[in-house]
Amino acid sequence: MLELYEVIKKIKNTAGVKTEEGKTPKRVNDVGNYIEHYVKDVLGKYGYAITPKTKKGRQKSTGYPDIEFWYKGKKEGEGRVVYIEIKTFNEKNINSPHRTFYASPSKDEEGIKIRFDAPHLCMSFKIEKLGSEYYATGFKIVDLSKLKGGIKREFNASNRELYKKDLVIYEENLDFIK
């Protein structure tokens, strides 16, 4: 999609990545969140770009994916839908074995943000800090349908679950000397 290259060009020509209010992100980890508004602005010229909705119709910003884009549509349901995830990377860490991409099913069926059979892309931006500003100095567009990821099975519990009265077999308060 040629439009994705216009997104890259707009981000490249900015005076550093900024928040919607024009501020510089404080941490590199925040940069990806702010790039999202640049992407939506440009894609809005070619269709309808929104924060994906759940099955109940509520927009949900957290979780996968970041953007639901209706190519050549003026509203939801018009045109062809594409899901887009926004990521950032540091060239030094590009071959790191640490988890970069994460998608998990919602705990409840209603929280799922994927409602349509559609292509899934990841727009990844190479970020560098020059002075006090962060700049996108490169990019990759990834077809997620070809991604072979790992499955992490995990057993977990919250404090509330872990410390239920019927699970605790011994408890004592210690005298604390002040």
* pLDDT the model gives residue 81: 93
* Half-sphere exposure for 152 (CA within 13 Å, toward CB): 10
Enter the pTM of the model.
Answer: 0.77
* pLDDT the model gives residue 116: 93
* pLDDT the model gives residue 2: 60
The low-confidence residues of the chain, meaning pLDDT below 50, are none
Q: Which residues contact 61 (CB under 8 A, 6 or more apart)?
A: 51
* pLDDT the model gives residue 25: 82
Q: Which residues contact 137 (CB under 8 A, 6 or more apart)?
A: 12, 126, 127, 128
Candidates 73, 72, 69; CA nearest to 84 is: 69
CA distances from 28 to 2, 10, 61, 134, 169 (A): 28, 19, 19, 7, 45
